[in-house]
Amino acid sequence: MPTTPTDHRLAALAPALESAGQAHLIPWCEGLEASARDRLLDQLAELDLPLLARLSGGGGDESAASGDLEPPETVDATDAAALERRAAGEAMLAAGKVAAFTVAGGQGTRLGWNGPKGTFPSTIVTGKPLFRVFAEQILATQDRFAPSEPIPWYVMTSPANDADTQAFFRDNNRFGLAPGQVFFLVQGTMPSVDFEGRVLLESPDSLCLNPDGHGGSLRALRRSGALEEMTARGIEQISYFQVDNPLVRILDPLFLGFHAADPRSSGEMSGKMVAKRDAGEKVGVFCRRGGRTTVVEYSDLPKELAEASDAQGRLRFRAGNIAVHAISVDFAMRLTEEGAEIGLPFHRAIKKVPHLDLATGAIVAPAEPNAIKFETFVFDAMPLAKRALVMETSRLEEFAPIKNATGEDSAESSRQAQSDRAASWLEARGVKVARHADGHAAARIEIEPRTALCAADLATRPLPDRIDPGSEVVI
Residues found near ligand UTP in the complex (CB under 6 A)? 103-110, 117, 156, 187, 211-214, 216, 242-244, 375, 403
Query: For residues 5 and 280, which CB has a smaller minimum distance to ligand UTP in the complex?
Result: 280
Residue 242's contacts (CB-CB under 8 Å, 6 or more residues apart) are 102, 103, 104, 214, 248, 323, 324, 401
Where residue 27 falls (left for φ over 0; alpha for ψ -120 to 50; beta otherwise) is alpha
Long-range pairs for 121-124: beta carbons < 8 A, 24 or more residues apart: 122/246, 122/402, 122/411, 122/414, 122/415, 123/246, 123/415, 123/418, 123/446, 124/415, 124/416, 124/418, 124/419, 124/444, 124/445, 124/446
Minimum CB separation from ligand UTP for residue 156, in Å?
5
166 or 266: CB nearest ligand UTP: 166
Distance CA 78, CA 394 (A): 12
Of 307, 247, 254, 246, nearest to 276 (Cα)? 307
Please, what is the minimum distance in Å from the beta carbon of residue 190 to ligand UTP?
9
Q: Least CB distance from residue 394 to ligand UTP, whole Å?
A: 21
- Which residue's CB is nearer to ligand UTP, number 219 or number 444? 219
The least CB distance from residue 382 to ligand UTP, in Å, is: 16
Nearer to ligand UTP, 89 or 105 (CB): 105
- CB 187, min distance to ligand UTP, A: 6
| Closest approach of ligand UTP to the CB of residue 104, in Å | 5
Q: Is 470 left (phi over 0), alpha (psi -120 to 50) or beta?
A: left
Is 229 within 8 Å of 414 (Cβ atoms)? no
Measured CA to CA, the distance from residue 98 to residue 102 in angstroms comes to 13
Q: Which residue is nearest to ligand UTP (CB)?
A: 106
Cβ 377 to ligand UTP, closest distance in Å?
A: 9
Closer to ligand UTP by CB, 152 or 213: give it: 213
Nearest to 402 by CA among 87, 179, 133, 43: 133
Closest distance to ligand UTP from the beta carbon of 325 (Å): 12
Residue closer to ligand UTP (CB basis): 253 or 284: 284
Residue nearer to ligand UTP on the CB measure, 79 or 297: 297
Q: How far apart are CA 232 and CA 242, in angstroms?
A: 25
Pick the closer one to ligand UTP by CB: 236 or 244: 244
CA torsion angle 207 156 219 402 (round to 10): -80
Nearer to ligand UTP, 212 or 236 (CB): 212
- 113 exposure class (CB count in 10 Å sphere: 0-12, 13-18, 19+): middle
* Closest approach of ligand UTP to the CB of residue 218, in Å: 12
How long, in residues, is the chain? 475
The CB-of-111 to ligand UTP minimum distance in angstroms stands at 6
Alpha-carbon distance 43 to 345, whole Å?
A: 23
- Whole-angstrom CA distances from 419 to 144, 214, 246, 312, 426 are 24, 29, 12, 31, 10
Where do the H-state alpha helices sit in 262-328? Answer: 303-307
Which residue lies nearer to ligand UTP by CB, 146 or 167? 167
